[in-house]
Structure 1
Amino acid sequence: MSVRSSAGRVRCPVCARPQAQCLCSLIPRLWPPTQLLVIQHPDEASHALNTARLLVPGLVNAHLLITESLQEHPAWMRRLQDPRWRNELLFPGEQAQVLLPAAVDLRPRRLVLLDGTWRKARKLVYLNPVLQSMAQVCLPAGLVSRYRLRKVPQAGALSTIEAGAEALSVLHPGFDKHALLAPFEALIEGQIRAMGLARYQQNYGAASDPAVE
């Protein structure tokens, strides 16, 4: 069933794109051993270029939770404190350790991603002590975002789908991150084409872009 946006446009209920621009045919169904939980700040849910809506459907064992307070979701509070699981927060805090495959710990692994601006992500951590209590991990340095329609707030900043894809490829060598990123790449390229190369270069300072010809 399709949904209608506040502007009256009919959108796909899965990828949230206008029906004529639906990306669902590019979304895979991958099943890595690590479970992902994406906690999305409510302000991000209506963003036209939100990538969590492309990440979660591409993974059989991923979940999207739209909330500012986990207190409203006691079942998830219990899961995130369950010692039978290795729960980790992907967040570049001061105590964050670089993400590595599990060498000895054989517990099932759950990785929590925060979807929102840096300010909103920090607010989610501040408002939820359960997130503060979790082990924090970060991605290896040197990664470059392909999210060419946003000016990144700091070096190494990635979109939510890129962060999820990179994390899973670190944890599970051989994971097909390119399949997971396919709808994201199509989204960005489509938006640049609709914008026009001249306007794109003016707004984002791109001297050239191989994806736009």
Structure 2
Amino acid sequence: MSRARCQRCLRPDNHCLCALIPALDSRTRVLILQHPSEVNHALNTARLAVLGLNNAELVVGEVFDDLATLLDVPGYQARLLFPGEGAEALSAQAGEVKPLLLVIPDGTWRKARKLLHLNPRLAALPRVTLDNPPPSRYRLRKVPGAEALSTLEAITHALHTLEPDRSFEALLRPFNALIEGQIAAMGEETFRRNHA
């Protein structure tokens, strides 16, 4: 018998995060293109980002047939948040003329690169990267480098950069609770042995 789940955050009812999820406005529009393998991941931070941001959308798939519609949003200029040749560091001035449509592929690095390979229009977008990202709070995974952030952390840092007059720190509240809950469930000794 499976445990009852919250229909909004998809967490087990006794671990629902909805009370911690904000409803924040942003000038920047966020589009997350999520690889299908991430949908049922216990730490699905992309879902938390979309639930916490009023101007965000999550689309799941590998090949996005409606990519033109998703990217050509009137009044916005699309940018891909992903490292690569010619990528520019995000700055508050990046969205001065038109606000940005910040497109984020969500998945492992390998799966995110696959999304770009399968969707040439996505790969052709001008790329932006995070400048001086903070250390990740995602203490439950091994990362390829100090600059590797979860999708939610990357979005939060990008929004702080693009809209420095606002705080998006509240987006991280459910993420922090999720991480602490996972650590508590595995036990401090197991956490130290495998992740510390």
TM tier, smaller = over 0.9
SS of alignment partner, residue 150 of structure 1 = coil
Match of residue 115 from structure 2: 124
- State yes or no: 1:21 paired with 2:15: yes
Question: How far 1:81 sits from its partner (Å)?
Answer: 4.0
Contact 2:75–2:98 (CA under 8 A) maintained in structure 1: yes
Aligned mates of 1:79, 1:130 — CA distance in 2: 11
- 1:90-101 to 2 correspondence within 5 Å? 90-101=81-92
Match of residue 171 from structure 2: 180
Which of structure 1's runs of 4+ aligned residues deviate more than 3 A?
81-84
Aligned mates of 1:42, 1:128 — CA distance in 2: 15
Match of residue 5 from structure 2: 11
Which residue identity does 2:154 align to in structure 1? A
Aligned mates of 2:95, 2:127 — CA distance in 1: 18
Question: How far 1:85 sits from its partner (Å)?
Answer: 2.4
Match of residue 195 from structure 1: 186
Match of residue 162 from structure 2: 171
SS of alignment partner, residue 183 of structure 1 = helix
Compare 10-19 and 49-58 and name the one that shifted more: 10-19
Question: How far 1:13 sits from its partner (Å)?
Answer: 2.1
- 1:152-163 to 2 correspondence within 5 Å? 152-163=143-154
- State yes or no: 1:34 paired with 2:28: yes
State the number of aligned residues: 196
Aligned mates of 2:133, 2:164 — CA distance in 1: 18
Match of residue 52 from structure 2: 58
Q: Cα distance 1:103–1:117, how it changes in 2: closer, same or farther (>3 A)?
A: closer
Which residue identity does 1:141 align to in structure 2? N
Question: How far 1:125 sits from its partner (Å)?
Answer: 0.6
Contact 2:50–2:56 (CA under 8 A) maintained in structure 1: yes
Match of residue 77 from structure 1: 68
1:100-138 alpha-carbon deviations (Å, 9 max, x no partner): 123674223210111110000000011101111111000
Question: How far 1:36 sits from its partner (Å)?
Answer: 0.2
Aligned mates of 2:68, 2:45 — CA distance in 1: 24
Alignment gaps of 5+ in structure 1: 1-6, 207-213
Q: Which structure ranks higher in relative contact order (CA pairs < 8 Å, sequence separation ≥ 6)?
A: 2
Match of residue 211 from structure 1: none
Q: Cα distance 1:103–1:127, how it changes in 2: closer, same or farther (>3 A)?
A: closer
